[in-house]
Amino acid sequence: MSAEPFAFCPRCARPLADRPIADDAGTVVRRACPDDACGFVQWGNPTPAVGALVEHEGEIILARNRAWPEGWFALVTGYLEAREDPKAAVVREVKEELGLDVVETHLIGNYIFERKNEVMLCYHAVATGTVRLGEEIVEYRRHAPAELRPWPRATGFAVADWMRARGLPFEFVDFKQPAPAAPGGEGTR
Contact residues for Zn ion, defined by CB under 5 A: 9, 11-12, 33, 38, 40
Residue 188 is given by DSSP the state B
In the complex with Zn ion, which residue's Cβ is closer, 40 or 140? 40
* Nearest distance, CB of residue 18 and Zn ion, angstroms: 15
**Closest approach of Zn ion to the CB of residue 11, in Å:** 4
| CA 31 to mean position of chain CA atoms | 25
Q: Provide the 3-class DSSP secondary structure of residue 164.
A: helix
Neighbours of 135 (CB within 10 A): 8
Q: At closest approach, how far in Å is the CB of 130 from Zn ion?
A: 51
Pick the closer one to Zn ion by CB: 17 or 138: 17
Distance from C-alpha of 150 to C-alpha of 163, rounded to nearest angstrom: 9
Helix (H, G, I), strand (E, B) or coil at 1: coil
31 vs 116, beta carbon nearer Zn ion? 31
Asked if residue 28 lies in contact with residue 41, where contact means CB atoms within 8 angstroms, the answer is: no
- C-beta of residue 74 within 8 angstroms of C-beta of residue 138: no
**Closest CB to Zn ion among residues 32, 54:** 32
Smallest separation (angstroms) from Zn ion to the CB of 33? 3
